Amino acid sequence: MKEALARRGIVRISRSHLHTILKRADLKPHKKQMWLHSPDPDFRQKVAEIVELYLNPPQGETVICVDEKSGMQATERKHPDRPARPRQAGRREFEYIRHGTRALIAAFLVHPGDVLTRCGATRIGDDLEAFMEKVAQKIPGIIHVIWDNLNIHHGERWERFNARHGNRFRFHYMPLHASWVNQVELWFGVLQRRCLQNGNFQSVQELSMAVAAFVAYWNQQAKQPFRWSFTGFASVSPQEQIQEGERCAQAI
C-alpha cells in the first residue's frame, strides 16, 4: 500500500506511519470476511414462510429442521494434548491418525429443542428415507419439515413416503445458499464444539458411540430451543438483507 500511494503520486509515507493511520481508522485491508449471496428469486417468500413457522407454528403441529452432517472424521491423536497453563494456551500436536468417517442425519424439533438422529456410513436417499420413517414413528400429527435443496430431498420418493403416512408431512425448502435459515445447523455447531472438536476416536464405532451419548445427554439434560431472530426486509438493501441473514441466527 505504501508503494502504491507513492507510485500514484498521492503521498510518500513511511510504513510505520501508514500502520498508525490504519490502526486509528480501524481498517484491516489484509483481512476479508466471506459472505454468500442467495440467487434464489423466491428468497423473500421462502424465508417469510419459514420464519412464520418458527414464530407462530400451527397449533398441535410440529416443526422440524432436517439436515445431514457428512464426513465426521474419527481421528486419533498421535500424542496427548498438553493442558493450558496461566498465560499459555493448551497445545495439540498436528499429526493424527484417520480411522474413517461417519455421516449424521438429524432432525431438530424447533420449539421443544429435542433432536432425533441416525449415524451411519453414508447419507444417500435410502438412509434419509429410513431416518424419516423413524421421525414418522416418533412424532404424531402434522409435521412441517424444513430442509435445503439437496437432490435427495426432492423427487417422487417423498410423494410416496407422504402417501404412506396419510399426507401429514409438509415440506418447506430453504432458499438457495441460505443455510442460516435452518436451525439444525446451530445444533450441529453445538455438537462440533462440545463433542467432536476435542474428541480422540480410535474407530468409527467409538465416534458413533460418542455422538449417541451426546444426543442422549442433550435430550435428557441440555435441550432447549434456540433464540433465533430475523429483522425482516423493510427499509434495507438486498446486500444488507444477506449480511443480516448471516448474523441473525444465534444460539442461547
Task: Residue 175: name the closest of 151, 147, 144 by CA.
Answer: 147
- Give residue-wise pLDDT tens across range 100-112: 999 999 999 999 9
Q: Which residues contact 245 (CB under 8 A, 6 or more apart)?
A: 38, 47, 178, 180, 181, 230
> What is the DSSP secondary structure assignment for residue 141, as one 8-state letter?
S
Model pLDDT for residues 5-50, shown as the tens digit of each residue: 889 998 898 999 989 998 999 988 888 888 778 888 999 899 999 9
Mean pLDDT of 211-231: 91
Q: How is 71-109 classified by DSSP, letter by letter?
A: EEEEEEESSPPBPPBTTB--B--S-EEEEEEEEEEEEEE
Domain boundaries, the chain: 1-32, 43-82+94-247
Of 94-98, 115-119, 230-234, 237-241, give the range with the top mean pLDDT: 115-119
- Cα 158 off chain centre by: 23
- Tell me which residue of 141, 158, 226, 177 sits closest to 47, measured CA to CA: 177
What pLDDT score does 219 carry?
97
**Res 194 pLDDT > 90:** yes
Q: What is the average pLDDT value for the chain, to the nearest integer?
A: 89
pLDDT at 236 over 50: no
The fourth-level CATH superfamily of domain 43-82+94-247 is Ribonuclease H-like superfamily/Ribonuclease H (3.30.420.10)
Amino acid identity for residue 154 in this structure: H
Round to whole Å and give the CA distance between 143 and 116. Answer: 14
pLDDT band at 247 (very low <50, low <70, confident <90, very high): very low
Angstrom distance (rounded) from CA 107 to CA 187: 10
> Could you tell me the pLDDT band of residue 76, with boundaries at 50, 70 and 90?
very high
Mean pLDDT of 155-167: 96
